[in-house]
Amino acid sequence: MSSIELPVVDCYNRIGTRGDRSCPRLAEVSQCTECGVYRDAAQAFFDRPRDAEYERECGQAVAQRAEAVRRSTSSAVVFGVADELFALDTRCFVEVAEARPVHRVPHRTHHAFRGIVSIHGQLELCVSLEELFGLNRSKSHEQQSSRMLVVKDAGNRRWVLSVDRVYGIAQIDEQEVARAPATLAQRASRHVSGTLVWQGKRIGRLDGVALLASLNGCVA
């Protein structure tokens, strides 16, 4: 970085407290830092004019910081349901559990509501994402519900989502999220805010607010 050159005032190094101490002003002050010459030199340094190169480099630094903020990231749990892969923000999660027996509840007719399931001795409401999203299952994905995702909303109301597979946690660059494809099942598309590529796989990013609202509707 270039800079404006100022007259060098280093008497404190030559004849001051850092030098041979021959400066007559030392009779009036105990340290060079208390001398007006030292203070004036310091003030001149801070008041020096900025050159064009300095301002250009500062502008670049600010722009780079703004770009870093704009390209924010978030984390999401990636899981599979039937033939589709989805990602849901980690802030929605309580835990990931193995599949457990689900007990039907009489007089509940919503197609996606499976019943209640015990998680660590606590009864939770269980919803099938395959049914909620209206997904088709191919023969290559005949296995069903090997994992259960315990999620919650802002009010700490909890649900258990039955899914097929859990792949891990993805770090999502918000600038790399694309629009959801029109080929996605209609009921699923209402819950997908965009798509992204993770480890070579195309994934639907779920809108947590829309999903949790639909879960409420399953048991209303």
* Residue at 52 is within a domain: yes
Res 8 pLDDT > 60:
no
* Residue at 101 is within a domain: yes
How far out from the chain centre does Cα 74 lie?
A: 2
Which residue is associated with the tokens 């209402």? 190
Burial status of residue 167 (CB atoms within 10 A of its CB: 0-12, 13-18, 19 or more):
middle
- Overall domain count for the chain: 2
Gyration radius from the chain CA atoms: 32
Contact at 8 Å (CB) between 137 and 130? yes
Residues 6+ apart with CB under 8 A from 182: 189
Judgement on whether residues 63 and 88 belong to the same structural domain of the protein:
no
* CB atoms closer than 10 angstroms to residue 16: 22
Question: pLDDT tens digits for 164-195?
Answer: 999 999 988 888 888 766 555 566 778 888 89
* Residue at 144 is within a domain: yes
Judgement on whether residues 214 and 108 belong to the same structural domain of the protein:
yes
Judgement on whether residues 186 and 146 belong to the same structural domain of the protein:
yes
Average the pLDDT over each of 88-97, 106-115, 147-156 and give the range with the smallest value: 106-115
Domain of residue 25 covers 11-70
Report the mean per-residue pLDDT for the chain.
81
pTM reported for the whole predicted model: 0.63
* CB atoms closer than 10 angstroms to residue 12: 18
Res 45 pLDDT > 80:
no
How far out from the chain centre does Cα 199 lie?
A: 18
Q: What is the pLDDT of residue 107?
A: 80
* Residue at 17 is within a domain: yes
Judgement on whether residues 141 and 182 belong to the same structural domain of the protein:
yes
Residue 47: pLDDT band by 50, 70, 90 thresholds?
confident
Mean pLDDT of 9-18: 76
Judgement on whether residues 134 and 167 belong to the same structural domain of the protein:
yes
* CB atoms closer than 10 angstroms to residue 55: 10
Judgement on whether residues 117 and 140 belong to the same structural domain of the protein:
yes
* Residue at 141 is within a domain: yes
Residue 2: pLDDT band by 50, 70, 90 thresholds?
very low
Judgement on whether residues 91 and 59 belong to the same structural domain of the protein:
no
State whether residue 82 is helix, strand or coil.
coil
Count of CA atoms in the C-beta half-sphere (13 A) of 111: 8
Domain boundary (27, 43, 70) is at 70
Angstrom distances, CA of residue 117 to CA of 104, 108, 114, 125, 158 = 9, 15, 9, 7, 12
Phi, psi of 99 (to 5 degrees): -65, 140
Judgement on whether residues 33 and 126 belong to the same structural domain of the protein:
no
Mean pLDDT of 27-38: 80
Res 5 pLDDT > 60:
no
Judgement on whether residues 98 and 187 belong to the same structural domain of the protein:
yes
* Residue at 4 is within a domain: no
